[in-house]
Amino acid sequence: MSTSPELIKQSACAVVDLLKAGEVTPLDLLDALEARIGEVDGKVNALPTLCFDRARANAKALMGKPVAERGRLAGLPVPIKDLTEVEGVRTTYGSPIFAEYIPEQSDILVENLEREGGLVYAKSATPEFGAGANTFNEVFGKTLNPWNTSRSCAGSSGGAAVSLATGMAWVAHGSDLGGSLRNPASFCGIVGLRPSPGRVAKTPGTVVDNILSVEGPMARTVEDVALLLDAMTGEHPADPVSLPRDGTSYLEAARQPARLNKVVFSADLGITPVDPEVADICRRAALRFEELGVAVVETHPDLSEARETFQTLRAAGFAAAHAAKLRETPELLKPEMIWNIEKGLKLGMADIIEAETRRGELIRRMNAFFDEYDLLMTPATIVSPYPVEQRYVEECAGVRFDNYIDWLAIAFAVTLTTAPALSLPCGFSREGLPVGLQIVARPRGEARLLSGARQLEEALDLGTVNPIDPRPGK
């Protein structure tokens, strides 16, 4: 079991069991990952910055403790998205502005993961400042979809998703504003969970009470996502919106079948075009709940104001976080960043008040919706993986989009409601490319979400737990 190929094929939960039983060491895992990265990362460019010396030093320190004191992850390696700072490790934000930046202190999230026995060994690729659902930047270049290397892996947690799909990670850290966890999970055939705001503590940014952007777990299975969520959760005094642990084990919740009576499928949430093939694959997957004795109906909550609301709040956040960069180094920002910052700077107080008012109403409607239904399902993305040279999806089902964000409405509409959402592999396109199903639960309902998702995962039995070798594009 300690040989690299055998370890790479194991689930994260199985690997942690091996660690706790003393059958493998954290150093064995790091050796296996380093070998696998050497074999495949040159073909996909998912983990541009490696820090194995740091990881091995931390592994040796961890191995000096009794097994019972090694945390929930017990020495499981975790790559960190290149938007999140790791002490002593190059962190670029995917931007030439930070191309050589080395933080002196880790983000709260990283500190918490390392306290739970996680070993940081790599930074995963992201687009510039996480902007845009296609992972490319001027520092490291393009990250390629391993199912077809001529296609996009989406983003912004694209490097994390690719590393999982190819066996260069057992679990991975990601973050999500408008689908940044869910989109790459869908395109790469893995599982990504956007938790409720505050579930995972992080170092606050410019807007200290921001609840649009959250940190979350990614893995190849629902159980493995739950394992990492358990290690991520908890409050921190420096994060004013972080939630305390309430005694819930999300891994145990995932393993217990939820009592579901009625779930919902919506192909478009009433707000977006969707590729017909993607809609059909997702509908057929959602209907598998009927085999489990659960009623499936087609409807959706009223999220009709989501597009304008999200655009306004996102632009305001981008202006707050990046306006100084636009003033000082505009030549180093990509066009999409400049557009978004300028949009934010043009907003007036009336625009912000109106958007906040609409967001409050969207949250109320979503909570009322879940008084009647247990889960909501939609496509995680509205298309299957598109050519990597295409910066973003410009058109779908005959509808052209005005900007680089609008094609993500099916994900960012859920963001506005504070509901947790998970992308689950649910099928393959005619080209053999993965399609993800977005599953949504009531705000703070991660336990039910994970339980329901695992039941459907077992019913679908797609075999996506097995890592793949990168497949050249045609």
Q: How confident is the model at residue 417 (pLDDT cuts 50, 70, 90)?
A: very high
- The angle formed by the CA atoms of residues 146, 410 and 46, to the nearest 5 degrees, is 25
Q: Tell whether 211 is covered by a domain.
A: yes
Which of 156, 157, 175, 213 is an active site residue? 156
Q: How confident is the model at residue 473 (pLDDT cuts 50, 70, 90)?
A: confident
Could you give the number of structural domains in the chain? 1
Q: Say how many C-beta atoms besides its own lie within 10 A of residue 34's C-beta.
A: 19
Q: What is the mean pLDDT of residues 234-249?
A: 96
Q: Are 134 and 173 in contact (CB under 8 A)?
A: no
Pairwise CA distance, residues 173 & 435, whole Å: 21
Per residue in 353-400, pLDDT (tens digit) is 999 999 999 999 999 999 999 999 999 999 999 999 999 999 999 999
Q: How confident is the model at residue 216 (pLDDT cuts 50, 70, 90)?
A: very high
Q: How confident is the model at residue 463 (pLDDT cuts 50, 70, 90)?
A: confident
Containing structural domain, residue 71: 4-460
Q: Tell whether 465 is covered by a domain.
A: no
Identify residue 408 by its one-letter amino acid code. Answer: L
Question: What burial class does residue 182 get, using C-beta atoms within 10 Å of its C-beta: 0-12 exposed, 13-18 middle, 19+ buried?
Answer: buried
Q: Tell whether 467 is covered by a domain.
A: no
DSSP SS3 for 142:
strand
328-349 per-residue burial string, b: 16 or more CB within 10 A, e: under 16: eeeebbbebbebbbebbeeeee
> At 113, which helix (H) or strand (E)?
helix 108-115
The C-alpha R_g of the chain, in whole angstroms, comes to: 20
Q: How confident is the model at residue 1 (pLDDT cuts 50, 70, 90)?
A: very low
Q: Find the CATH number of the domain harbouring 213.
A: 3.90.1300.10
Q: Tell whether 383 is covered by a domain.
A: yes
Whether 262 is catalytic: no
Q: Tell whether 263 is covered by a domain.
A: yes
Q: Tell whether 360 is covered by a domain.
A: yes
Whether 81 is catalytic: yes
Q: What is the mean pLDDT of the chain?
A: 97
In terms of pTM, does the model score above 0.95? yes
Q: What is the mean pLDDT of residues 191-199?
A: 98
Strands (E), 329-418: 375-379, 395-396, 399-400
Q: Tell whether 474 is covered by a domain.
A: no
Q: How confident is the model at residue 438 (pLDDT cuts 50, 70, 90)?
A: very high
Alpha-carbon 322 to chain mean position:
22
Pairwise CA distance, residues 412 & 111, whole Å: 28
Whether 156 is catalytic: yes
Per residue in 154-166, pLDDT (tens digit) is 999 999 999 999 9
Q: Tell whether 394 is covered by a domain.
A: yes
Which of 124, 157, 163, 180 is an active site residue? 180
